[in-house]
């Protein structure tokens, strides 16, 4: 594909640039994601006084990968990402193409590692359901597909970022067709854009499935309506990442076939960086309740309702997660204090306990009675 960049379209402002706004947005969102990971670790170590869990380490790795996302955006901006292609040199366009190709791998790793952290966290609290395993399978398949398919697009591979400049090579999958059920010039022009679009749709489906992993468990608990709603809303905060995924798909469809690649790709870069940052923030929010409780206590606010009291204000208690096949003990203040499961409190030589059952278990008990 040879693109004539010597004559810009009539009326195009070659001084127009998105670079500064892109850099600011990416930097602010990364800083927020780093702040939330820091608060998560602080909560775990200082207020729960417990060692970091596997989900904490994996989320920290996701933050490092998100930093690599930001570096790609900053490097792209340095070479002119966010400006019109006709305002850039062939050298700058080539550099942007290389950065973009590398960014596809880094982005895939970042969103998948963040999802793994969230799923590990859910497993620690609820155990693993078939939906959780399906999410792990879908996320792993998404990551492996990137690593298998992307290197096969061009021969030599460098032809992908050099093809706009008359370099010899071939796009080995140009003849392939992707059955995406809506019209788009992407389907006829650029198989790479087709692939990215298809993977973005799969990625969003995975986000939606992960969102429902804890909801199904919480709905099965026999809690007061207000308490249950509060827990559900906490998990539904993760829906923000679904909106980010959806808008990224819209951006890919809108700009995927543009020849003004340095301008069009800038928005793809941005929303591919927004998504993991929002994912990190959403994944950390459910872990911050002990910190919020501490802040409220410091300001003189005392929470009431079910689950408050001595056992809720002291760390070190245990909660058994509810699962059809097995139960596990976790620390009371890890997530929702005494929100779910069976709480054991040691008072001298006597074990006192309070039991919350799932709705199904409660109905079965009353039916047998």
pLDDT tens track for 134-144 = 999 999 999 99
Across residues 26-46, what is the average pLDDT?
A: 95
178 band by pLDDT with thresholds 50, 70 and 90:
very low
Mean pLDDT, the chain, rounded, equals 75
- CATH 2.60.40 assigned to domain 19-291? The reply is no
pLDDT tens digits for range 207-223: 889 988 888 788 877 77
**By percentage, how much of the chain surpasses pLDDT 70?**
72
**pLDDT band at residue 34 using 50, 70 and 90 as cut-offs:** very high
Kindly state the average pLDDT of the residues 235-252. Answer: 80
User: DSSP secondary-structure letter at 163?
Assistant: G
What is the pLDDT, as a whole number, of residue 346? 31
Residue 26 pLDDT more than 90?
Answer: yes
Reported confidence tier of residue 7, pLDDT bands at 50, 70, 90: confident
Q: What are the residue ranges spanned by the domains of the chain?
A: 19-291, 305-368
Residue percentage of the chain with pLDDT more than 90: 25
Residue 330's pLDDT is 40
In the chain, DSSP finds a helix count (H) and a strand count (E) of 13, 6
Instruction: Say what the pLDDT of residue 343 is.
Output: 35
User: Could you tell me the pLDDT band of residue 55, with boundaries at 50, 70 and 90?
Assistant: very high
Q: What is the pLDDT of residues 311-364, one digit of tens each?
A: 343 444 444 444 444 444 443 334 444 333 333 333 333 333 333 444 444 555
List beta partners, residue 330. Answer: 319
**Phi, psi values for residue 168, rounded to 5°:** -75, 140
Q: How do residues 292-304 score in pLDDT, each as one tens digit?
A: 888 888 887 655 4
What is the mean predicted confidence (pLDDT) over 119-133? 89
Residues 331 and 317: beta-carbon distance below 8 Å: yes
Rounded mean pLDDT, 58-86: 93
How high is the pLDDT of residue 235? 78
Q: Of 272, 268, 267, which is closest to residue 17 (Cα–Cα)? A: 267
**Segment 166-174 mean pLDDT:** 69
Residue 224 pLDDT: 77
C-alpha distance from residue 52 to each of 42, 44, 45, 295, 351 (Å): 10, 7, 7, 21, 28
Q: How far apart are CA 50 and CA 195, in angstroms?
A: 43
């Amino acid at each position: 594909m040879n693109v004539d960049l010597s004559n810009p379209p009539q009326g195009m402002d070659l001084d127009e640039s998105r670079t500064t706004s892109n850099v600011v947005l990416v930097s602010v969102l990364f800083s927020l994601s780093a702040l939330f990971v820091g608060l998560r670790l602080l909560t775990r170590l200082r207020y729960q006084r417990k060692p970091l869990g596997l989900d904490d380490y994996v989320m920290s790795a996701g933050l490092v990968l998100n930093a690599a996302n930001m570096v790609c955006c900053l490097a792209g901006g340095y070479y002119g990402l966010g400006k019109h292609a006709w305002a850039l040199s062939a050298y700058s366009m080539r550099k942007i193409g290389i950065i973009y190709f590398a960014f596809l791998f880094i982005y895939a790793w970042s969103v998948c590692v963040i999802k793994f952290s969230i799923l590990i966290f859910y497993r620690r609290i609820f155990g693993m359901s078939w939906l959780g395993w399906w999410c792990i399978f879908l996320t792993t398949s998404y990551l492996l597909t990137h690593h298998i398919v992307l290197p096969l697009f061009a021969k030599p591979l460098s032809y992908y970022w050099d093809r706009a400049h008359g370099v010899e090579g071939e796009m080995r999958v140009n003849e392939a067709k992707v059955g995406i059920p809506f019209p788009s010039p992407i389907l006829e022009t650029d198989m790479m854009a087709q692939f990215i679009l298809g993977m973005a749709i799969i990625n969003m489906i995975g986000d939606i499935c992960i969102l429902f992993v804890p909801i199904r468990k919480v709905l099965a608990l026999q809690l007061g309506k207000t308490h249950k709603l509060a827990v559900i809303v906490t998990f539904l905060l993760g829906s923000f990442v679904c909106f980010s995924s959806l808008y990224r798909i819209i951006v890919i469809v809108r700009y995927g076939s543009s020849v003004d690649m340095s301008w069009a790709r800038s928005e793809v870069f941005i929303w591919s960086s927004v998504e993991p940052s929002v994912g990190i923030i959403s994944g950390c929010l459910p872990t911050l309740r002990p910190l919020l409780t501490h802040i409220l206590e410091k300001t003189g606010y005392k929470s009431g309702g079910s689950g408050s009291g001595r056992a809720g204000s002291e760390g070190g208690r245990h909660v058994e997660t509810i699962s059809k096949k097995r139960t596990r003990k976790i620390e009371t203040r890890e997530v929702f204090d005494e929100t779910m499961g069976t709480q054991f409190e040691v008072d001298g030589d006597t074990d006192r306990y309070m039991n919350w059952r799932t709705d199904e278990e409660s109905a079965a008990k009353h039916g047998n009675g």
